[in-house]
Amino acid sequence: KPIIHIGGIEENEDTRFLTGIQLSPAKNLLIGGVISPFKKNSDISIYYHLAIGFIPEWKLFKLSSNMFQIGLHRDKFEKDGNKRWFSLSIMESGRFFNFNYNICANRLVSSVKEEDTLMMSTNIKLKNSIYLRPGIIAFLPKFDYNPFLLLSIKL
């Protein structure tokens, strides 16, 4: 089933709106994308991210699942010019008693971005197919982080 994501991320003391979609055309394949328009003063920019993920049959731990992902990121119309970079990611999702977690380590491949990231989040079930996902994206090695909040709806 497709999943729609709507939310925001705190970035440089501003909140950036974002929306995305996630599709699963096969049991072990995910395709997704995020788009985020942003306006600061009179400067308008658009960030988008397209990703494809593979879920292997083997598990790192018996209580979790893994995913490998390749992503293309783009910042368009920024005052500093257009930027493009790629990411290689491994994601671990699982449960610890009643607490579920998602941890995603991202290696950025770019001459534009120098830091790698670590994303940590959890899913809180609100209704049958509606989830709240609070989390952070930490920029390594300094561990500066941006909090985010998403509302995810399984269609």
pLDDT, one tens digit per residue, over 101-147 is: 888 998 888 777 777 889 999 988 898 899 999 999 998 888 889 99
pLDDT of residue 114: 73
Question: Who contacts 122 (Cβ-Cβ below 8 Å, separation ≥6)?
Answer: 99, 100, 101, 102, 133, 134, 135
pLDDT, one tens digit per residue, over 16-72 is: 899 999 999 998 899 999 999 887 766 788 888 999 999 888 766 666 788 899 999
pLDDT of residue 50: 94
